[in-house]
Structure 1
Amino acid sequence: MRVTTRLVLAIWITALAVVAGFAYLQVSDERQRLRQELERRASLLGEGLQDGVEAALSRNSRPALERLLKRFGRPGQRLAVYDKTASLVALAPESFVPRPETASDVTAALTSGSVQQVFRQMSGRTFYVYVMPVPREEKPLGAVAVVLDASYLAEAEQAVWRENGIRFLVLGAILSLIALLVVRMSITGPMAKITRWTKAVRRGQHLEPMKLGDPSLFGPITREVSVLARSLQRARAAAEEEAALRLKGETLWTEERLKQFVKLRLGEAPLFVVSNREPVSHVWKDGRIVARRPASGLVTAMEPVMRACGGVWTAQASGDADRETTDARGHLGVPADDPRYQVRRVWLSKEEEDGYYYGFANEGLWPLCHIVHTRPQFRPADWAQYRAVNERFAEAVLEEIQHTESPLVLIQDYHFALLPALIKAQRPDARTAIFWHIPWPNFEAFSICPWQEDLLRGMLGADLIGFHTQYYCNNFLETVERVVEARIDRENFSVNRGSHTTSVKPFPISVAPTFVDDPPKTSREELLAELGISAEFVGVGVERLDYTKGIPERFLAIGRLFERFPEYRERLVFVQLAAPSRSTIRRYQELEAEVETTVQMVNRAFQTRRWRPIVYLKGHHEHRDIWPFYRHADFCMVTSLHDGMNLVAKEFISVRDDEDGALILSQFAGASSELRDALLVNPYDIDGVADAIRAAVAMPPEERRARMARMRQTVREHNIYRWAGLLLNDLSRIPEEGTATLTATTPGRASDEEAA
């Protein structure tokens, strides 16, 4: 039997049961109501006759009784008077012939002295008989019998059943029709859509994510089918890409190649990553939990690696709903719809976070390593919290790796300089690397830190230390040489302390080839309309609000452009996406105020009724939100005052598959050493940056596309999978005891062939 037939049959049976039940209750209520009405009428008649009947019976006056009954007689009601011997004395109408049973009812009333009520069949009809004794001095003088036609009670009950029968038929028909429509629209229709969509995916067609009408009904199956389809598409795309690369003889690193490499090097062992920033946080918004991806270059770089390799990512919990989304041990599968790795969250108290993160890490080490003329603040209390938090993270990592033989631990950034030595002390077999995502200053600058030796000894517990550039490696080796008792091997770029060797190498970090798996279809016109602007040229900047990013200087350069080249007024708009960061630190609060003041100053100086030069969008922006700005901007500005690498530049390039758009890049960003086709600028040179903006919008299309094509080739070849592959290759080749020294094919760099 088909599902639809079973559903309709069930509806009819249910409707029948419901209607029959309610009809039965309705009939019972109606019967009771009508009987009460009969009793009330009979009682009123009896009481109305009682006094007159008593007087007539006392006088033994039959004519008086007949006149009385005649006066009270009505159609449909019969009246009779009996004496104390239950003999009939008078009746009305005269045609009324009481049944013999009535005499017995009268006798019962006279004997008991109480009213008698009963239904009787007379001449094929139902009558209600009401007999009331007529008392006198506590003895019955006689009785009055009221007989009312009750046949309409059955007719009323039949009418109720008939009406409910019609109601049942109409209700069943309507419900069946609605059920058929609902089944077609909500079940068979979507199922057919899922079937067609799945067949199309199986044939290799690239489709938009499946969207069905009722997420509560088909949400789970839609998500699972979509995840399965995405996995199939990724696998097919990876296979096609690998096949194409083999045909071309290229050795490009892809997600699939990294997976195979990790499987070859690590087997089934997971990769363990540690960072302060978690790859996804959960916050309460409008009464529900929302997942957010933080504005972080580290997360942008490492998240694709973890998706490819799998493993455990230990990080500080930062969202106010993080506890609600993890298990008892603080674990969470990521991504939620298709878990590829685990996040282990570590919760810190406000005191710990203030001292370790906001204090020592970001008021001390951050300005120390960036040459932006912000004085570092080093406080003993902050240092104590920094050490304590590093020890807490060491405990968490040791717990995660306890069942893994010779685990690979990849520590991220300046928040955990002490962590390598702490892990090595407990697990000498762990192969440990730390990647420093920010610049490493020269010895004179780093010597400002009162605990420089402790930091260096902690870092040298690692088997491998990675920086973005060779220049930072050289600075680090010089610092170690002048602070720590160790032997520096400059030929192999390593540090030997006792029996332990630490390799120091450059690994320029990058981005995944695809910035967003499923980019929005927003057109340039739609984007500008959404912003409420109209412009011939659009520039974009995407940063955290940080004093190293040179945002005020950038806005001043835009103002200088309109001052020197007024022909671009009302033709060019610059859009700045800025994510608030570290807002509890005074220097960042001052920066926010400075940025907003500079925006207002430039806009007031040049804006018109229909146009303003700078659109400032402060807030958190997901990658899907950022993608249209990258895709439709005529130029992107990355004017950092000092930056380890800066992945915004590479993100912009990765999105521009149209091979259009210009990149204005600070010469003080690590990315400038790779992206030589960008318009390199000194961000402190306001006129020079203004000239670069003019050059970007005036550049001939052929030159612009040629530059972008070369930069895209660089980013494509030097992607995040290559970065991870080379780093993990070097780390995996380190013996468990960490006593051997890696030999580099070029200074500080393993080759792609070795990693392969």
Structure 2
Amino acid sequence: MPIRLRDFVRFAVFGIAVALIVAFGISPFTGGVVQQWSRSDVETRSRLVFNAIQPFLDRDVADQSWDRLSELFRRVALDKKILAVGFCSRAGTLVAPTPEMPASFDCGKIAKFESESFSDIASGGRRILVAAFPVGGSEGRSYLVILTDLSFASARSSQVVAYLLASLAGVVLVLTVGTIIFAVFMLRSWMNSLRRAVDEVRLGRSGERLAASGSAMDREIHKLLRRAEDFTQAHQIDWTPSALQELLHGVLPGAEVLVLSNREPYIHNRTDDGVVVQRPASGLVSALEPIMRACGGTWIAHGSGSADRDTVDAHDRIRVPEGSPAYALRRVWISEAEQDGYYYGFANEGLWPLCHIVFVRPSFRTDDWQMYQRINQRFADAVVAEARTEDPVVLVQDYHFALAPKMIRQRLPKATIISFWHIPWPNAETFSICPWRREIIEGMLGSTILGFHTQFHCNNFVECVDRFVESRIDREVQAVSLGGHETKIRAYPISIEWPPGALAGVPARDACRAEVMAKFDLAENTKVIVGVERFDYTKGIPDRMHAIDALLTRDPSWRERLVFIQVAAPTRSKLGAYSQLQSEAEDLASEINGRHAGGQSPIRLVARHYESSDVFKLFRAADVCVVSSLHDGMNLVAKEFVSCRDDNAGVLVLSSFTGAAREMSEALIVNPYDTEELAAAIKRAMTMPLDEQAERMKLMRQQVKENNVYRWAGTMLVDAARSRTRERIVALTEFGENAHATAAGAATVRPAS
């Protein structure tokens, strides 16, 4: 990386400051030395004068010829540096003094020694040196006194200091001019390099000539511009697993990629038939697997399988996938007590209801928070331990690890950390409920890029930052600066793989419908309405049942003509709110079925896990799919239903409180809290003409196809690569811009000739 102009300016300013400090620091010392030297010079001159006139002095004193002595002193005082000359007799009387002798001078004040002596006196605001030289024998001494005004010594000291400062100013001027000349030279070199690199890219040349003959700066700029061109092309590709891998090699060549998530991509469980490997049906796993296969990085996750410990090495790692290992899976162990505090406690009894705003009171306990901190630190330490470079790309997933980005940043300050929040983010008023709101926000702001499903959630987060954390917010570019680090806030709508892999073994629509009708013992012309969710209070399962009840009550003609099949897998059964929800849903289904009893029950509640292939069969058989989440970050069930309908039939009834509603406006968008509106939408869906169904479904399928999960992952990686490259380009462009501004400034202040 080239030296920037600001470094030169800082160096020049530093040099000037040092020069001034040195000059003013040594000024008193220099003045003292000059004055001491001047005094020594005066003493030497006084001694020389005495030696020169001593014979005449002895004669005139012996003859007591005071007139001749006065004339002798007058001639000596003609020296401009000598103020006055006089003779102190044995009686201490001043004899034959010259006219400039101070009136206050008294012979009794001179130092009387057997040899010469020098002393200072003050007179009229002046400092005067008195030189006394003994004359005569030991029986009684008289003294020649020569007085010299030392004011010239102070003047000489001031001149020397002035000359010193002038010399240093000249050195500083030369340094400044030299810096400007060098900066202008570097600017021209930089501009020439940039022009050559731009021409190479514009003409479509491969850059071999630059690589072979160009300067290091030529090659660096050329490489960065090529990388920028890759970013532009990334938005035009057809998103597939292979395209994602190619993109990764293009925009992040040689980068080390680490994934941090609570869920692991491969789970080893013990069964009666031995250890089996289970791959979770997760959009997250589907999105990130191609990245890990391409870069050969490390996936760090909670080892939750019953045989997970038996399959790792001494460092808790295992190469996956089995048979063709492509990357490492590092498992982190969590005890049951830690799981209760970190996962069930703070994450799912605290953050989950807080962010979803479904009127379930969040529970915040100090013990859970402390456990959450401890587990976040454990996973952050694992990331640092697995990193082989100082600047890895770290993908942190979901609300389980809100604190991890800052913890990782403290240990790996050069890392590119992409955090994605898979659930909604509430407004500032709601988030203020959390006792540790500031710590959570600051933890997330350790990220380089922080992603949410929708811009609405991004805006909510920025408002929370503005309210709870002292930071600098740039709303124009949606970025937050805290502690010298900038975090970009971006919306990345997550999606599913296209086409879903599990669809490969699913038969066509007619076969699926026949299988479902037989399985649930339904009449041939029955309208099939489906819902597939986990048993979670955010999904609005009871609200769907109430809507079916309202529809049948308002229009009894639909009895025996519709059936609502709700598949709901039990989850988080340790938490009372979830087990209570399942119990209430089962009681509600029985109550509604009893109220509308007939040949077939209108509600079929299936409280068990369905494999992906079985879910897709249900989707293909359905006439209507209801997604009535009370609040959801995205909701991939809606996209999975659309992906299954290659017959372009079927209608999606979709809650307005899902992220998916912002992408698939062709669905029937409803307020799930409005029972009558939801019931009316279900009726409209069942009676919608096939041509309208096809028109709506085609548009939704195209949207899901183009914005699939690989695009979601690829867009984040492109932004991460752009962020890494921007730091290097800024180093080059800042140098050029600053050099140009400084050169222009130098020309502006140049004196006229």
TM-score calculated relative to the size of structure 2? 0.62
The aligned residue for residue 265 of structure 1 is: 251
Alignment-mate amino acid for residue 368 of structure 2: D
Instruction: Give me the whole-angstrom Cα distance separating, in 2, the residues matched to 1:688 and 1:334.
Output: 48
User: CA-to-partner distance for each residue in 1:616-660, whole Å, 9 max, x for gaps?
Assistant: 222222212212112221111110000011111011111211111
Instruction: Give secondary structure in 2 for the equivalent of 1:424.
Output: helix
> Is 2:469 the partner of 1:480?
no
Instruction: Give me the whole-angstrom Cα distance separating, in 1, the residues matched to 2:417 and 2:453.
Output: 18
Instruction: Give me the whole-angstrom Cα distance separating, in 2, the residues matched to 1:506 and 1:416.
Output: 19
User: CA-to-partner distance for each residue in 1:343-399, whole Å, 9 max, x for gaps?
Assistant: 322110111110000000111111111110011111000000000000110111112
Mapping for residues 373-384 of structure 1, pairs under 5 Å: 373-384=359-370
Instruction: Give me the whole-angstrom Cα distance separating, in 2, the residues matched to 1:283 and 1:615.
Output: 31
- Cα distance 1:507–1:477, how it changes in 2: closer, same or farther (>3 A)? same
How many residue pairs match? The answer is 493
The aligned residue for residue 127 of structure 1 is: none
Instruction: Give secondary structure in 2 for the equivalent of 1:562.
Output: helix
Mapping for residues 570-581 of structure 1, pairs under 5 Å: 570-581=560-571
Q: Say whether the 8 Å CA contact 2:512–2:618 is kept in structure 1.
A: no
- Cα distance 1:549–1:308, how it changes in 2: closer, same or farther (>3 A)? farther
Instruction: Give me the whole-angstrom Cα distance separating, in 1, the residues matched to 2:472 and 2:730.
Output: 13
> 1:738, CA displacement in angstroms?
7.4
Question: Structure 1: which 4+ aligned runs deviate by more than 6 Å?
Answer: 736-742
Farther-moved stretch of structure 1 (629-638 vs 614-623): 614-623
Q: Say whether the 8 Å CA contact 2:376–2:401 is kept in structure 1.
A: yes
Q: Say whether the 8 Å CA contact 1:307–1:340 is kept in structure 2.
A: yes
- Cα distance 1:475–1:523, how it changes in 2: closer, same or farther (>3 A)? closer
Mapping for residues 252-331 of structure 1, pairs under 5 Å: 252-294=238-280, 296=282, 298-299=284-285, 301-303=287-289, 306=292, 310-331=296-317
- Cα distance 1:335–1:602, how it changes in 2: closer, same or farther (>3 A)? farther
Instruction: Give me the whole-angstrom Cα distance separating, in 1, the residues matched to 2:405 and 2:730.
Output: 17
Alignment-mate amino acid for residue 616 of structure 2: W
The aligned residue for residue 537 of structure 1 is: 527
Instruction: Give secondary structure in 1 for the equivalent of 2:372.
Output: helix
Instruction: Give me the whole-angstrom Cα distance separating, in 1, the residues matched to 2:345 and 2:636.
Output: 25
Instruction: Give secondary structure in 1 for the equivalent of 2:724.
Output: coil
> 1:341, CA displacement in angstroms?
3.8
Q: 2:421 aligns with which of 401, 423, 436?
A: 436
> 1:594, CA displacement in angstroms?
1.1
Farther-moved stretch of structure 1 (647-656 vs 338-347): 338-347
Alignment-mate amino acid for residue 392 of structure 2: P
> 1:280, CA displacement in angstroms?
3.5
Alignment-mate amino acid for residue 591 of structure 1: L
Q: 1:731 aligns with which of 701, 720, 744?
A: 720
Alignment-mate amino acid for residue 591 of structure 2: M
Instruction: Give me the whole-angstrom Cα distance separating, in 2, the residues matched to 1:555 and 1:360.
Output: 31
Alignment-mate amino acid for residue 635 of structure 1: V
> Is 2:687 the partner of 1:698?
yes
Mapping for residues 497-512 of structure 1, pairs under 5 Å: 497-512=482-497
- Cα distance 1:285–1:606, how it changes in 2: closer, same or farther (>3 A)? farther
> 1:480, CA displacement in angstroms?
0.6
Mapping for residues 583-622 of structure 1, pairs under 5 Å: 583-608=573-598, 610-622=599-611
> 1:441, CA displacement in angstroms?
0.6
User: CA-to-partner distance for each residue in 1:268-304, whole Å, 9 max, x for gaps?
Assistant: 4342111112233333344533444446554455456
Instruction: Give me the whole-angstrom Cα distance separating, in 1, the residues matched to 2:294 and 2:692.
Output: 36
- Cα distance 1:300–1:542, how it changes in 2: closer, same or farther (>3 A)? farther
- Cα distance 1:636–1:307, how it changes in 2: closer, same or farther (>3 A)? farther
Alignment-mate amino acid for residue 319 of structure 1: G
Instruction: Give me the whole-angstrom Cα distance separating, in 1, the residues matched to 2:614 and 2:280.
Output: 13
Instruction: Give me the whole-angstrom Cα distance separating, in 2, the residues matched to 1:534 and 1:337.
Output: 47
The aligned residue for residue 704 of structure 2 is: 715
> Is 2:543 the partner of 1:560?
no
- Cα distance 1:475–1:567, how it changes in 2: closer, same or farther (>3 A)? same
Farther-moved stretch of structure 1 (482-491 vs 615-624): 615-624
Q: Say whether the 8 Å CA contact 1:542–1:648 is kept in structure 2.
A: yes
> 1:587, CA displacement in angstroms?
0.8
Q: Say whether the 8 Å CA contact 1:466–1:505 is kept in structure 2.
A: yes
The aligned residue for residue 500 of structure 2 is: 515
Farther-moved stretch of structure 1 (277-286 vs 616-625): 277-286
Unaligned runs of 5+ in 1: 1-245, 743-756
User: CA-to-partner distance for each residue in 1:124-160, whole Å, 9 max, x for gaps?
Assistant: xxxxxxxxxxxxxxxxxxxxxxxxxxxxxxxxxxxxx
> Is 2:354 the partner of 1:364?
no
Instruction: Give me the whole-angstrom Cα distance separating, in 2, the residues matched to 1:724 and 1:688.
Output: 36
Farther-moved stretch of structure 1 (291-300 vs 628-637): 291-300
User: CA-to-partner distance for each residue in 1:539-574, whole Å, 9 max, x for gaps?
Assistant: 211111110000011111112222222222222222
- Cα distance 1:280–1:741, how it changes in 2: closer, same or farther (>3 A)? farther
Alignment-mate amino acid for residue 445 of structure 1: T
- Cα distance 1:737–1:699, how it changes in 2: closer, same or farther (>3 A)? closer
Instruction: Give me the whole-angstrom Cα distance separating, in 2, the residues matched to 1:433 and 1:328.
Output: 29
The share of aligned pairs that are identical, in percent, is: 50
Instruction: Give me the whole-angstrom Cα distance separating, in 2, the residues matched to 1:644 and 1:563.
Output: 33
The aligned residue for residue 637 of structure 2 is: 648
Instruction: Give me the whole-angstrom Cα distance separating, in 2, the residues matched to 1:736 and 1:571.
Output: 61
Instruction: Give secondary structure in 1 for the equivalent of 2:533.
Output: strand
Alignment-mate amino acid for residue 353 of structure 1: Q
The aligned residue for residue 228 of structure 1 is: none
> 1:407, CA displacement in angstroms?
1.0
Instruction: Give secondary structure in 2 for the equivalent of 1:680.
Output: strand
- Cα distance 1:306–1:669, how it changes in 2: closer, same or farther (>3 A)? farther
Instruction: Give secondary structure in 2 for the equivalent of 1:733.
Output: helix
Instruction: Give me the whole-angstrom Cα distance separating, in 2, the residues matched to 1:277 and 1:389.
Output: 14
Instruction: Give secondary structure in 2 for the equivalent of 1:289.
Output: strand
Alignment-mate amino acid for residue 317 of structure 1: G
User: CA-to-partner distance for each residue in 1:643-695, whole Å, 9 max, x for gaps?
Assistant: 01111101111121111111010000111011000011111111111111111
The aligned residue for residue 128 of structure 1 is: none
User: CA-to-partner distance for each residue in 1:179-238, whole Å, 9 max, x for gaps?
Assistant: xxxxxxxxxxxxxxxxxxxxxxxxxxxxxxxxxxxxxxxxxxxxxxxxxxxxxxxxxxxx
Instruction: Give me the whole-angstrom Cα distance separating, in 2, the residues matched to 1:376 and 1:740.
Output: 46
Instruction: Give secondary structure in 1 for the equivalent of 2:270.
Output: strand
> 1:709, CA displacement in angstroms?
0.2
Alignment-mate amino acid for residue 451 of structure 1: W
Farther-moved stretch of structure 1 (694-703 vs 572-581): 572-581
Instruction: Give me the whole-angstrom Cα distance separating, in 1, the residues matched to 2:481 and 2:264.
Output: 33
The aligned residue for residue 637 of structure 1 is: 626
Pairwise CA RMSD: 2.4
The aligned residue for residue 13 of structure 1 is: none
Alignment-mate amino acid for residue 388 of structure 1: R
> Is 2:532 the partner of 1:547?
no
Instruction: Give me the whole-angstrom Cα distance separating, in 1, the residues matched to 2:550 and 2:730.
Output: 53
Q: Say whether the 8 Å CA contact 1:297–1:646 is kept in structure 2.
A: no
The aligned residue for residue 667 of structure 1 is: 656
Instruction: Give secondary structure in 2 for the equivalent of 1:684.
Output: coil
The aligned residue for residue 14 of structure 2 is: none
TM-score calculated relative to the size of structure 1? 0.62
Mapping for residues 154-233 of structure 1, pairs under 5 Å: none
Alignment-mate amino acid for residue 714 of structure 1: Q
The aligned residue for residue 427 of structure 1 is: 412
Unaligned runs of 5+ in 2: 1-232, 732-753
> 1:735, CA displacement in angstroms?
3.4
Instruction: Give secondary structure in 2 for the equivalent of 1:735.
Output: helix
Instruction: Give me the whole-angstrom Cα distance separating, in 1, the residues matched to 2:489 and 2:601.
Output: 49
